[in-house]
Amino acid sequence: MKITANNYYNQTLRIQTNNNKNLKYNDVCFKSRDLLDLSESNLLKKIRESISNENFLGQGTEAVVYRIKGTKYCVRVPYRAGDICSFFTKELTLADRVNHIEAKLAFGASIMKYIKGITLKWYMKNDFSRHKLQEEISEMPVKSYTNLLHQIANGIDNEMLFDYTGGNLIVDTKKKKLTAIDFYAISENPREVKPLTDMYSILTSYGAEAKTGKKIFDKIIDAGLEEFKPNKFPCMDVALFDFPNLCERFLCVKSIPNKKQLMDTVKQYTYLLKDLKKIEIVNKTFSKLLKQQINDFRKVLHNIR
């Protein structure tokens, strides 16, 4: 099942998309091979030794994660797993790579690159600490948001959707990096593809202060519009940029006059912007017009932002 809204991309554009995959994988590829260079017996011994409370990193709805001490890796262990070390392989699919997997073990367990940072789920019940972390997120450069969008788009290109629950985004405030860590096949749980709205939902998980939420909304808008710049090939089908959904999601917590009229205008400008970008991709003479359209769209968004 290919996730695309229109079939306007020709073969040349498809080749460009495939070439862009290598760039997007830079966010999730793993360089260190120290652990995986060990013999299989020594590697599995290291894994067994790592599954202990002292190496606990966190847990989600399906698995527990432990740091593999002395390495740059961690091991993800499903709750109902048996002897995970009864099987080992380095053969990976694109879906595995999107999900940061370096090697696979038995019962769905996997070896993954350890990603430094913290998730909003850690502060699910601590408003002060969570709001502080969200404020730091809101101050990150647009590039941080663009990189996250590219990770989500890379998943879509491989027919996978990002699970935007609060524990599935690792925030590294020092390096100003946002890393999505859980993608699932669209066929497993089909839903509307809303990348920008998903970003806003996870970055404001468990509630955010109004000022912080607005800053995050602004950065996501800017990250989305970066992909529409003249002479730039977008990270995903332009039809999948859900500016109206994002605006509605943001406005659901605000009371403003003429809300419906404002949203109708946002939708109209979104359609115009997408159509113009489709044309500009194959005909660069429309770049100037596209640039003007983006500026006009920003003026409309100013009433929300």
Q: pLDDT tens for residues 196-207?
A: 999 999 999 999
Parallel, antiparallel, or unpaired for β 169-172 and 160-162?
unpaired
3-state secondary structure 77-141: EECCCCCHHHCEECCCCHHHHHCCEEEEEHHHCEEEECCCCECHHHHCCCHHHHHHHHHHHHCCC
Tell me the average pLDDT of the chain. 87
Torsion of CA 121, 163, 158, 17, to 10 degrees: -70
Q: What is the mean pLDDT of residues 179-208?
A: 94
Q: pLDDT tens for residues 212-238?
A: 999 999 999 999 999 999 999 999 999
CA distances from 77 to 63, 64, 81, 112, 116 (A): 5, 5, 7, 11, 19
17 vs 104: which has the higher pLDDT: 104
pLDDT score of 15: 31
Q: Which amino acid makes up residue 115?
A: I
Neighbours of 61 (CB within 10 A): 9
pLDDT score of 254: 61
Q: What is the pTM of this model?
A: 0.83
- Give the list of residues 6+ apart from residue 112 with CB closer than 8 angstroms, or none: 65, 73, 74, 75, 76, 99, 100, 101, 102
